[in-house]
Amino acid sequence: MKRVLFVCVGNSCRSQMAEAFARAYGSDVMMAASAGIAPALMVAFDTKRAMQEKNLSLDDHFPKSLQQLKSVRFDLVVNMSGAELPDSVTAPVRVWKVRDPIGMKYEVHREIRDDIEKLVMDLILELRRNGK
């Protein structure tokens, strides 16, 4: 089992979606978590709504900081923030270029959700091929 951390800026949209997809589809190969560089106060409403369309609830999710997860050892960090991660992140980092939907129309949230779903599925398939 690989421990995978998904990171974005506020841990309100992109990383929350990735964590939810990873938990729903890839719990056989990874233990997923998410965090933000500068965490928001809550998960964005449109993010919750978009994920509900996929029958995934984010009602019990909340934004977390990288600092809150510093004691957890991760095998891979997926950076969707577009920013450089702090030196405290010591695991291998993979960069996913995913637009930030904050402040955009709901349709954009849905498009980004679908992009993230595909990226997470590709990662899950890679981990399955490589023997977990």
Supply the pLDDT for residue 32. 97
The structural domains of the chain, ordered by start, are 2-129 (3.40.50.2300)
Against a cut of 0.75, is the pTM above it?
A: yes
**Tally of CB atoms within 10 A around 91:** 16
CA 101 to chain centre: 13
pLDDT at 23 over 90: yes
CB 131 within 8 A of CB 30: no
pLDDT at 30 over 90: yes
CB 73 within 8 A of CB 80: no
pLDDT at 132 over 80: no
What is the overall mean pLDDT for the chain? 95
Mean pLDDT for 34-52 is 96
Compare 96 and 132 and report the one with higher pLDDT: 96
Supply the pLDDT for residue 88. 84
